[in-house]
Amino acid sequence: MPQASWAQTVVKGKVTDANTGDPIPFVNIMLRGTGAGATTDFDGNYSVKTSAPADSIIASYIGYKSRTKKLEPNKSQVINFQLEEEITTLQEIVFDAGENPAYAILRNVVRNKDKNDKRKLTAYEYDTYTKVEIDVDNMSDKFRERKVIKKITQVLDSVERIAGEDGKPILPLFISESVSKFYFRDSPQLRYENILKSKINGLGIQDGTLITQFVGTSFQEYNFYQNWLNIVSKDFVSPIADGWRLYYNYDLTDSVYIGDDFCYRLDYSPRSPQDLAFTGTIWITKKEWALKQIDAAVGRQANLNFIEKIRIQQELEPTSEGPWIPVKNRVLVDVSELTKFSAGMLAKFYTSNKNVVVNKPYEPSFYEHQIVMAEDARQFEQEEYWDTLRHEPLTETEKNVYKMIDTLQNIPVVKTYTDIIKIAVNGYYYTGKFHLGPYISLFAFNNVEGFRLQGGAKTSIEFSNKWVFGGSIGYGFDDEKVKYSGFVQRILSRERWTTASLRVRSDLGRVGIDDESLADNYLFLAAQRFGVFRRGYYFDESRFNFQRELFRGFTQRTAVRYTTFKPVFSFGYYENPEEPASSAILNTYETAEVIIESKYARDELFIMNDNERLSLGTTRWPVIILRYTHGFKGVAGSDFDYDKLRMTVTKRIRFGPLGTGYMNLTGEYVFNTLPYPLLSLHLGNQTPIYAMVTYNLMDYGEFISDRFASLQYQHHFEGLLLNRVPLMRKLKWRFVGTANVIYGGMAQENRDLIAATNSNGEETLPVGFLSPGKPYVEMGYGVENIFKFLRVDFIHRLTYLEREPDEPAPRKFGVFLSFQFTL
């Protein structure tokens, strides 16, 4: 018998994406003319052999163009593929007789969720390895002709090597690796990630501590057993959600062994292309009806901005107790180019989980902090050391990424642009031990100060990781007054976040702008320095603040504050309101007060940024803040005794297919008689710009209360309604609804305190009050995502429509614009 009849053709290789260079799992490999075939593993590798004659090999997978390459018969060889994307969607499957056979499989998947969902475990933990890479891609010819890019590509003369011989060139910006220990327990639901080692290489990265906390596995967790998955702040419906039939079409295309598991392969696509739903393939085990593998993609047809594609690939394995846990995850977010002169961006995430232990929960105190980075996490970055930590070795592409980033960091023009971008993002210019800024407060213009210039600085963690010093100085060219602020903060504990700070300042403010309530809204506080100060005032302030996280989610704050009030508008109050005819009229006052505030946010996530602790918000639970304020008369010249009680509840409410709501409930009660600037001034809006924190059809200072309860609510329907209108569908507009309601009032004693004239005999600015039992109500509707940035709101005022004597008629209807950057 001739040797060719028994010699084997053996082919090995790897399949990668031509655009990203990433491996493609689940690709079908066939040797033409034979029955031999294989499927690529999660890392894109395959191996196939045959004794039958074969002259070519084919690689094919849904969403990609098939490719065929020649073989050399009867020998071992390596053949790699790079596949290009093909924009296709599944057509609706029509069955002439009987139901779609995929439906019975999906019913069994839903029926067995309780057995297979990892959330049914009382606890689990595992070792995890995470890799993150960010690149510039889709570099058009016009983009590459720009002077800055030319200077870069002249140095990186082999930029094409990253994506490979058949791929498109990409420019790497950032790559990181981390090794962590991840823990989860249920009842109460708590999680904790201990980042043991981290390696970061990227443009503009000095320290990497903040980024290290973002690249851990905590931000790469996706559970398709949930009905809805939150990705890039949007909620996507899972292809195995309880209501799967409402959202997807399915096609049972194959049955195959994956390892030891016999699986059904189902291809799926959204019933409505613009819904926040996936297109892809799932593999379901026949024995447990569990999710074995999933490939889920969201394309440009979905109602998302700036996103070319999102892709999630996942491989799961059963635990010793039954439920399945992802052992490998790959996530790709492809950000589209905004203009023909710009480029796109790729963000790639990979995680691998090993050594899974289940149903051995620790005490709740063990999960006190959600993300903790070991002190020596960044101390060992040698390549040989990391070879022992990685769950699998770096690819040649990834090794080249490290080399190219090292080269980029040394190009002068790159250093310059990196500094500019960091200033724009952070608001400060970094100089080592100091941060100069913030730039958003550099200048302002208003009717009191005229043109105002301001500069400031604060120390960085390189100066001290326990002490923070900062300050600013400003000058108004019309009022010719110097304004200043200075602070010192002592970080007493990072483990259980504890700080003590002292601040002094002298500045110009507006009645109704509460720095305490708006402390985190830096943009709003900076923007309010512009325009007309209808009720402006100068003030001096000294404040001591102490806060401590007593236990997870609960923070206690105590502050002592002294302030002065010197109005630049016509204002007066009676020193003795019981005898107004003989009473002196006062224009200024001083206060000394103590503030005791409790904040409870059960699942609020924090990360450390140098000497600051940043909140990433809550996932499921509301944020509740209770504040008590007491004023001391006679202390440091203070003029009043008073007590105030304020409560705020904020929550993001997820309604699944109905969109997302944002609720802010606030209530306050002032127990004493005080001049109205010390009461609750409801913030109006007389600009054409919509603002969620204001009442948009209320004039400035129109209503003031000493007791009130308010609701401010926005509901974003995403594409729920307008996606169903044929002409609107392509525009990707989104419907939004709003409601603002205040129940409030003012005691007669506080009304009697207000003088009709100031001490100079000038008529004071009028003040309005809410009637008991009659709320202020404004409701609206609007469209957002016009040209991706513009939002238009139509607001109707439903109450307090009567015109007061000598007062302009209230606005009953208004059209407001706003600009927003949302996905």
DSSP 593-634: EEEEEEEEETT--EEEETTEEEE---SSSPEEEEEEEEE-TT
The answer to whether the beta carbons of residues 763 and 791 sit under 8 Å apart is no
pLDDT of residue 159: 47
Provide the residue ranges of all domains of the chain, joining segments of one domain with +: 3-83, 101-419, 427-533, 552-823
What is the DSSP code (8-state) at residue 127?
E
The average pLDDT across 416-438 equals 67
Look at residues 412, 42, 548 and name the one whose alpha carbon lies nearest to residue 259. 42
pLDDT of residue 7: 64
Residue 723 has pLDDT above 90, yes or no: no
The mean pLDDT of the chain is 83
Query: Which of 49-63, 70-84, 581-595 is the most confident on average?
Result: 581-595
What is the DSSP code (8-state) at residue 376?
T
Distance of alpha carbon 221 from alpha carbon 228, whole angstroms: 13
pLDDT of residue 2: 44
CB atoms within 10 A of CB 226: 16
User: Regarding predicted confidence, which is higher, 84 or 526?
Assistant: 84
Distance of alpha carbon 750 from alpha carbon 480, whole angstroms: 35
For 475-496, give the DSSP string: EETTTTEEEEEEEEEEEEETTT
Distance of alpha carbon 642 from alpha carbon 673, whole angstroms: 8
Q: What are phi and psi of 152, to 5 degrees?
A: -75, -50
pLDDT of residue 172: 76
pLDDT of residue 250: 94
Residue 282 has pLDDT above 90, yes or no: yes
Distance of alpha carbon 442 from alpha carbon 445, whole angstroms: 11
Q: In sequence order, what E strands does 299-382 have?
A: 307-318, 324-335, 344-358, 371-373
Residue 65 has pLDDT above 60, yes or no: yes
User: Regarding predicted confidence, which is higher, 402 or 462?
Assistant: 462
Q: At what angle do helices 147-155 and 396-408 cross, to 10 degrees?
A: 120
Distance of alpha carbon 414 from alpha carbon 408, whole angstroms: 7
Q: How confident is the model at residue 451 (pLDDT cuts 50, 70, 90)?
A: very high
The average pLDDT across 490-511 equals 92
pTM over 0.85: no
549-582 confidence digits (pLDDT tens): 998 889 999 999 999 999 999 999 998 888 888 8
Per-residue HEC secondary structure of 656-668 comes to: HHHCEEEEEEEEE
User: Regarding predicted confidence, which is higher, 487 or 437?
Assistant: 487
Distance of alpha carbon 37 from alpha carbon 56, whole angstroms: 12
pLDDT of residue 340: 63
Look at residues 421, 402, 404, 409 and name the one whose alpha carbon lies nearest to residue 200. 402
Q: Which residues of 319-356 are buried (b: 16+ CB within 10 A; e: fewer)?
A: beebbbbbbbbbbbbbbbbeeeebbbbbbbbbbbbeeb
Q: Is 553 left (phi over 0), alpha (psi -120 to 50) or beta?
A: left
Distance of alpha carbon 191 from alpha carbon 203, whole angstroms: 31
pLDDT of residue 141: 65
Q: Which residues of 684-696 are buried (b: 16+ CB within 10 A; e: fewer)?
A: bbbeeebeeebbb
Distance of alpha carbon 664 from alpha carbon 624, whole angstroms: 10
413-425 confidence digits (pLDDT tens): 555 555 555 545 5
Q: How confident is the model at residue 342 (pLDDT cuts 50, 70, 90)?
A: low
Cα-based distances in Å from 705 to 119, 565, 708, 758, 772: 47, 19, 6, 21, 11
User: Regarding predicted confidence, which is higher, 146 or 790?
Assistant: 790
The answer to whether the beta carbons of residues 680 and 744 sit under 8 Å apart is yes
364-394 confidence digits (pLDDT tens): 889 888 888 787 777 666 778 888 888 888 8
The answer to whether the beta carbons of residues 414 and 408 sit under 8 Å apart is yes
Q: Which residues contact 414 (CB under 8 A, 6 or more apart)?
A: 152, 203, 408
pLDDT of residue 158: 45
Q: What radius of gyration do the chain's Cα atoms show?
A: 31
Q: Which residue has the tokens 């961006």?
A: 345
For 226-286, give the DSSP string: SSEEEETTEEEE-TTSTTHHHHEEEEEEEEEEETTEEEEEEEEEESSTTSS--EEEEEEET
Q: What residue type is 446 in one-letter code?
A: N
118-169 confidence digits (pLDDT tens): 999 999 999 999 888 887 776 666 666 666 666 666 555 444 445 545 556 6
The average pLDDT across 326-344 equals 78
The average pLDDT across 746-771 equals 88
Q: How confident is the model at residue 360 (pLDDT cuts 50, 70, 90)?
A: very high
User: Regarding predicted confidence, which is higher, 331 or 780?
Assistant: 780
Domain at 3-83, CATH class: mainly beta
The answer to whether the beta carbons of residues 315 and 328 sit under 8 Å apart is yes
pLDDT of residue 388: 87
pLDDT of residue 276: 83
Residue 208 has pLDDT above 50, yes or no: no
Distance of alpha carbon 336 from alpha carbon 310, whole angstroms: 11
Fold classified for 552-823: Porin (2.40.160)
Residue 217 has pLDDT above 60, yes or no: no
Q: What residue type is 585 in one-letter code?
A: I
Task: Report the DSSP pairing between strands 434-436 and 443-446.
Answer: unpaired
Distance of alpha carbon 533 from alpha carbon 569, whole angstroms: 9
Where helices occur in 381-455 by DSSP H, the ranges are: 383-387, 396-408, 412-426
